[in-house]
Amino acid sequence: MATTFHNGTIFTPTEVIERGAAVVSDEGVISYVGPLDKAPRSNGLDLDMCGRILVPGFIDIHVHGGKGITFGVLDTLAQDLESYSEWVTQHGVAGFLTTIAAPDAEKLVAIIEGYIDLFDDGLEGTEEVLSVSGSIIRCATGGDHHISEVVL
C-alpha cells in the first residue's frame, strides 16, 4: 500500500521543504518528495506528520564498530558486519563506512584482504567500501605505516 507523509518539514540532500509531502510506493520506492500542493494523490495510507521533520537515513562515514564489536577481528568479520548492521539500523543509521585500523602493516593487509573476500563472496547488505584510519598510513612522516607497506 502506498504511503503519503504530509504536513511536515522535509529535509533532502539539496533543500528544506516546508509543508512538504513524500510518497512511498507499494514497492517501498520513494516516488515523490516536494511541496504538498503538488503531491500526487494515492489511495494508500495518509500520515499527517503534525509539523514534524522527515529526514533521509543518516550515513555514518567513520565507524570502527560499536555494541561490543570492533571491525577488523579476522575470525568474525562477516558476523561482526551483520550484527553491527542489524543493531545500528535500529537507531536511525541507514548506512555506515567500515573504518579499520591495525597495529602493523601485515595485520592491516590481512584485514583488508579478509574484507575483500567477503565483498567478493557478495556478503548481503554490504557495500564494497572500506576506510583505513588516517593515523595508520603516513605519506611523509606522520602515522604508523608508509603507504608502500600496505599496497595490495
pLDDT for residue 128: 56
pLDDT for residue 141: 46
Residue whose C-alpha cell is 612522516: 141
**32 touches 22 (CB < 8 A):** yes
- Count of C-beta atoms within a 10 Å radius of residue 20: 26
Side-chain-side CA neighbours of 17 within 13 Å: the count stands at 24
**99 touches 115 (CB < 8 A):** no
pLDDT for residue 136: 46
Side-chain-side CA neighbours of 79 within 13 Å: the count stands at 6
Task: Name the pairing type of β-strands 93-100 and 58-63.
Answer: parallel
Which range among 30-39, 73-82, 139-148 shows the weakest confidence by mean pLDDT?
139-148
**Structure confidence by residue, pLDDT tens digits, 43-66:** 899 999 999 999 887 888 888 889
pLDDT for residue 100: 85
Range 138-148 average pLDDT? 49
Q: Where are the domains of the chain?
A: 3-54, 58-149
User: Cα dist. 35→6, 40, 54 in Å?
Assistant: 9, 10, 13
**Structure confidence by residue, pLDDT tens digits, 116-141:** 888 777 765 555 567 776 544 444 44
What's the CATH number of domain 3-54, 2.30.40.10, 1.10.10.10, 3.40.1190.20, 3.10.290.10?
A: 2.30.40.10
**108 touches 132 (CB < 8 A):** yes
Confidence of residue 20 (pLDDT cuts 50, 70, 90): very high
